[in-house]
Amino acid sequence: MAIDNKRKEQAKTLRVFRKIHRYTGALLFVFFFVISLTGLILGWKKNSGGIIMSPTYKGSSTNLKDWLSTDSLYRNACSYLRDSVSPELSTEIDRIDIRKEKGTVKFVFTQHFTGLQLDGATGKLLHIEQRRSDYIEKIHDGSILDHYFNTDGIIKLVYTTIMGIALLIFTITGFWLWYGPKLLRKH
C-alpha cells in the first residue's frame, strides 16, 4: 500500500514536471530558437571568412612607443567615418580595441554598427567594417531592443533573467522527465 502511494505521488510529480516543461517550451520556443541560432552563428564568427566578423588587419608597428596618441587616432577615426562612410553618423565611441600584437586600433561606435581599423603608428585607415557580429550578439542577448529604444540595459536584464530561469527550469524538468520513469520502474 505504501509503495503504491509513493508510486502515485511520483507519477503525479512527473505529470506536473511534464506540464511545466511543455508550457515553458511552447511559451518560449521562439526565444530559444533565436538564442540557439545566434549562438551558433557567433560560435563561427571568426571562421566566417569575414562575413560575420572582419579579420584584424596589420599595422606598421607593434611597438607602442611608435604609436600616435589615442586622441589623435580618435580624431583620424572620426574623419574617416565622416569622409568614407557618412557625415551623418555619430562619432560617439562605444569602445576602442587596441591590438598591440597586430599594430592595430579598432574603433567601435555606440549608435551604429560601423567599425574602423586604424594603423596605431601612422593613424591610416586599414579597414572599414560592418560589425555584424556585434549586431548578432545584441540579438542573442536581447540588448538589441535596448539599443533601439535607448532603455539603458533594462530589457537585456529582464530578457536574460527570464531566459536563464527558463533554461534552469528546462534542465530540472528535463532531468526529471528522464529520471522519473526510471524511478517509477524501479518501484
Per residue in 78-100, pLDDT tens? 999 999 999 999 999 999 999 99
Please give the C-alpha separations between residue 187 and each of 69, 180, 182, 183, in angstroms, as whole numbers.
Answer: 73, 11, 9, 7
| Stated pTM of the model | 0.82
Residue 149 pLDDT > 90, yes or no? yes
Residue 60, amino acid: S
* CA triple 21-173-30, angle to 5 deg: 40
Neighbouring residues of 28: CB distance < 8 A, sequence distance ≥ 6 = 162, 163, 166
Residue 91, amino acid: T
In the chain, domain spans: 2-45+138-186, 54-130
Per residue in 58-79, pLDDT tens? 999 999 999 999 999 999 999 9
DSSP state of 69: P
